[in-house]
Amino acid sequence: MARTLINLPALSKKGDVIEVRTLNAHPMETGYRPGADGKVLPRDLIRRFTCTYDDGASREVVFQAELFSAMAANPYLTFALLVTGPGTLTLVWEGDNGFAQTETLPLRVA
Amino acid sequence: MRPTGALSRRRLLAAGLGASVALVQARPAHASDWPVELAAAVAAFARGAPVREGRVTLEMAQLVDNGNTVPVTLSVASPMKPGDHVVALALFNERNPQRDVFSARLGPRNGRARASSRIRLFTSQKLVAIARLNDGSCWTRTVDVIVTIAACIEGET
């Protein structure tokens, strides 16, 4: 499992627009780069990132991104989110070689 | 008495000026500068809608020291309300091995149309940020960047 960093405001208010910052420590091997032996390293990318927000009333995908080889290593993504109530965010990274990682964290609302 | 040579030179100059102005006007908007592959990638994203310049902002350094990790921020002037919001946002490049960088799906639940990331750039090139709105219209912004250290060249050390 790759290490992830997720940053959310400690406490937000309903109606706020917050910024969700995410990073996944993944090499994002492009498939175009030679290795130490001169052979091209096989592609190993995170292909998709999905954020699902469960605010108690509904559970919806609020942000989804498709990533390609032009993304830097340790893909960093930030997006905005309208706070509709206290609940949970589920972040999923999926990629080559069956890579799948899920992180769930609470969204605290005053 | 005025020599006829001067007159014809003046006429020639005027004609030349007129021609160059016509050339500049004949050149259509930004899209003509795009290579075929980039134009095709953008057209596929736009789903046949005309691509207009504006509303989208692409924040990034114009001079990139290290192409391995280049911070970018895309934003769109949109109220992000159910009746008027951005549904998709994407970034394309001109000269990396692949045209796509990333694409994202958004909606009114985002509150604001803004996304940041870090990307790789192989060489100096154009980057095209594009947004598709819920009414199907597409807006774009092109940025030219100069890259001094390329991504993808260096192997493993």
Q: Specify the CATH number for the domain of residue A68.
A: 2.60.40.10
Q: What pLDDT is recorded for position B70?
A: 94
For residue B95, the chain A residues in CB contact (below 8 A) are: none
Q: What pLDDT is recorded for position A84?
A: 93
ipTM score of complex? 0.89
Q: What pLDDT is recorded for position A38?
A: 85
Q: What pLDDT is recorded for position B87?
A: 96
Helix, strand, or coil (residue A27): coil
Q: What pLDDT is recorded for position B71?
A: 95
Q: What pLDDT is recorded for position B144?
A: 93
Q: What pLDDT is recorded for position B29?
A: 44
CB-count burial class (<10 Å; 0-12, 13-18, 19+) for A96: middle
Domain boundaries, chain B: 1-29, 34-149
Residue A38 covered by a domain? no
Per-residue pLDDT of A37-80, as tens digits, reads: 888 899 999 999 999 999 888 999 999 999 999 999 999 999 99
Spatial CA neighbour of A87 closest among B27, B109, B44: B109
Q: Which residue of A has its CA nearest to B121?
A: A70
Q: What pLDDT is recorded for position B26?
A: 39
| Positions of chain B with pLDDT lower than 70, given as ranges | 1-32, 152-157
Q: What pLDDT is recorded for position B149?
A: 82
Going by the DSSP 8-state scheme, the letter that residue A88 receives in this structure is E
Alpha-carbon distance B146 to nearest alpha carbon in chain A (angstroms)? 16
Any B CB within 8 A of A71 CB? yes
d(CA A14, CA B92): 35
CATH fit for domain B34-149, picks 2.60.40.10, 3.30.930.10, 1.10.3210.10, 2.60.40.2470: 2.60.40.2470
d(CA B80, CA B115): 14
Number of domains in chain A: 1
Q: What is the mean pLDDT of chain A?
A: 93
Q: What is the pTM of this model?
A: 0.82
Q: What is the mean predicted confidence (pLDDT) over A13-42?
A: 91
Residue A40 covered by a domain? no
Helix, strand, or coil (residue A31): coil
Per-residue pLDDT of B128-154, as tens digits, reads: 999 999 999 999 999 999 998 887 666
How far apart are the two ends of chain B, measured CA to CA in Å?
79
Pick A66's closest partner by Cβ from B103, B116, B120: B103
Strands B125-133 and B86-93: antiparallel
Alpha-carbon distance A55 to nearest alpha carbon in chain B (angstroms)? 11
Tell me the residue range of the domain where A23 lies: 4-28+47-107
Residue B62 has a CB neighbour count (10 Å cut-off) of 8
The 3-class SS string of chain B reads CCCHHHHHHHHHHHHHHHHHHHHHHHCCCHHHHCCHHHHHHHHHHHCCCCEEECCEEEECCCEEEECCCEEEEEEECCCCECCECEEEEEEEECCCCCCEEEEEECCHHHCCCEEEEEECCCCCEEEEEEEEECCCCEEEEEEEEEEEECCCCCCCC
